[in-house]
Amino acid sequence: MNGRRFRFGAALAATVLLAAACGGAGDEAGSGGGEAGAPASSAGFDGTTIRLGVLSPLSGPIAVIGQPLTEGNKVWFDHLNSQGGVAGKYKVELVQEDTQYQPDVTVQQYNKVKNDVVAFTQILGTAPTLAVLPLLKSDKMVAAPASLDAFWVREQNLLPVGAPYQIQAINAMDHYLGEGGGSPRSRICTMIQDDVYGEAGQQGIDFAAERMGFTVASTQKFKVGTENYSGQIGALAGAGCEMVFLTATPTDAGKIWGTAAQARFAPQWYAQSPSYVGALAQSAVAPYMRQYVTIASEGTEWGDDSVPGMRDMIERVEKYAPQQQPDYYFAFGYNQARAMTALLEKAVERGDLSREGILQASQELGTVSFDGLTGDYTYGPADKRNPPRSTTLFRVDPGKPFGLATLKYNFSSDAAQAFEFTKANP
């Protein structure tokens, strides 16, 4: 009898507490002005600490990208936590899992941690992101992809940052035709990796060709890890290419430029940001790159304290990760974390840090500024989103940190403004 009375009392107390908790959030949310009450505990949020997932290749060949990217995530959140955390009161904790850049492993790791986190602040790579996208949708989870593919823009469950690859290609062409000495009659060519990343670059060039009135004289495709590029370089030289737009990763780009230098083939090269890595500026190919290569990317050169975002980031790197070397991917991870913070702040403002609440907050998130580190991104409903259309062009300068010096900072062409983004599978 006593036991039954105790169980009844406990159930009543629990009901009252639950009602009080729900009412607190709901009442304050109803008070208007976007000032909701404290968010209720939910998966990945215990009332004081927000846990975010990081699915990144921390081992394997792509760890060279995953490690600095994750370090960028960490430095931002270390800084944020030192200020009190999200909305000044909720500390952030990262839950890292190694994906080895394998889509199947990414799915396993996602399932392993999805109930311990409110969202994923990093999923690295196009294929891994595509693999978990259906799960993100069914779980109502938000994730920030570490990839500049254009079709993330129209996915509500994704929180991309930066101008997509197509924009880099379009702005590069605008520069070549405007200030780079080219004209629509120039022999313009492309050399692209034979995958979805390469297709993104080619799509940008094809769009630019239509808008700017040039034709692509020759397109050379290659498989990642090709050992000898003499055939492709010979074909580009044979086609009389005066300008070549390159979509590659650094190891292949080094071989391509090395082969071009050996063949005395000297067009003007414009390359997509992932083609470059700081080590190339210290390699034997550097003199050739210095003369003929322009890198299309975003933000400013490492250490440029005239850009507020870079100045702040360098200060925080010195404080939280002094061993960190200048790295493009680090800055990308840092920006991803900033975007996720803006989203979480919006969710806290709405008084709901549950998955559904964060997904809803992503519909209401406005323009997020990155203080010049990358272009401002207008979020909101996926079909209304407007990613940055800006690009910074860099020339290779081995004397600079990361080997890049700004050639033209943060510009956007009319063609880039006109580019329409679509979903991966419309």
Partner 1 sequence: MTAFLQNCFAGLSLGSTYALVALGFVVIYKSTGVINFAQGGLLALGAYLGYTFSNNLAVAFGVAVLLCCVSAALVGATFERIVLRRMVGQPPFAVIMITIGLLFVLEPLVTAIWGFEHKQVNNPWNIRTVEAGGLVFGVRDLWTIGLTAAVVLAFFLFFRYSSLGLAMRVTAFDPEAALAQGISARRVYATSWAIAAALAALAGILMAAGPGGLTPSIGFIALAAFPAMILGGMDSPAGAVLGGLVIGLAEALARGYQDELFSWAGDNVSVIVPYLLMILILLIRPYGLLGTKEVRRV
The CB-of-126 to partner 1 minimum distance in angstroms stands at: 18
Kindly tell me which of 321 and 382 has the beta carbon lying closer to partner 1.
321
Asked whether the beta carbons of 354 and 51 are under 8 A apart, the reply is no
Nearest CA to 143 out of 76, 314, 131, 420 is that of 131
The residue written with tokens 């300008």 in the block is 243
The residue written with tokens 């209304």 in the block is 384
The CB-of-264 to partner 1 minimum distance in angstroms stands at: 6
Asked whether the beta carbons of 402 and 392 are under 8 A apart, the reply is no
- Partners of 392 in beta bridges: 297
The CB-of-253 to partner 1 minimum distance in angstroms stands at: 9
Considering only the C-alpha atoms of the chain, give the largest distance between any 2 of them, rounded to a whole number of Å.
95
∠ CA 128-301-68 to the nearest 5 degrees?
A: 35
The CB-of-251 to partner 1 minimum distance in angstroms stands at: 5
The CB-of-309 to partner 1 minimum distance in angstroms stands at: 25
What's the sign of the alpha-carbon dihedral 301, 306, 311, 312?
negative
The CB-of-333 to partner 1 minimum distance in angstroms stands at: 16
- Partners of 146 in beta bridges: 124
The Cα–Cα gap between 7 and 324 comes to 56
Kindly tell me which of 65 and 368 has the beta carbon lying closer to partner 1.
65
Main-chain dihedrals φ then ψ at residue 45, nearest 5 degrees: -140, 115
Segment 251-255 long-range contacts (CB within 8 Å, at least 24 positions apart): 251/225, 252/193, 252/222, 252/224, 252/225, 252/226, 253/280, 254/280, 254/283, 254/285, 255/226, 255/227, 255/228, 255/229
Kindly tell me which of 134 and 287 has the beta carbon lying closer to partner 1.
287
The CB-of-342 to partner 1 minimum distance in angstroms stands at: 31
What residues line the site for partner 1 (CB under 8 A)?
A: 59-61, 63-64, 67, 194, 218-223, 225-228, 230-232, 234-235, 238, 250-252, 254-255, 257-259, 261-264, 277, 279-280, 282-285, 288
The Cα–Cα gap between 423 and 298 comes to 23
Kindly tell me which of 134 and 231 has the beta carbon lying closer to partner 1.
231
Kindly tell me which of 5 and 223 has the beta carbon lying closer to partner 1.
223
Three-state secondary-structure class, residue 54: strand
The CB-of-396 to partner 1 minimum distance in angstroms stands at: 14
Nearest CA to 191 out of 241, 262, 245, 243 is that of 245
The CB-of-59 to partner 1 minimum distance in angstroms stands at: 7
∠ CA 44-50-55 to the nearest 5 degrees?
A: 70
Kindly tell me which of 61 and 308 has the beta carbon lying closer to partner 1.
61
Nearest CA to 128 out of 148, 98, 107 is that of 107
Helix axes 165-178, 196-212, angle to 10 degrees: 40
Kindly tell me which of 197 and 379 has the beta carbon lying closer to partner 1.
197
Kindly tell me which of 231 and 366 has the beta carbon lying closer to partner 1.
231
The Cα–Cα gap between 54 and 70 comes to 8
The CB-of-227 to partner 1 minimum distance in angstroms stands at: 6
Nearest CA to 307 out of 398, 237, 392, 373 is that of 373
Kindly tell me which of 102 and 156 has the beta carbon lying closer to partner 1.
102
The CB-of-218 to partner 1 minimum distance in angstroms stands at: 7
Distance of CA 74 to the CA centre of its chain: 15
Which helix or strand (DSSP H or E) is residue 425 part of?
none
Kindly tell me which of 227 and 420 has the beta carbon lying closer to partner 1.
227
Kindly tell me which of 219 and 413 has the beta carbon lying closer to partner 1.
219
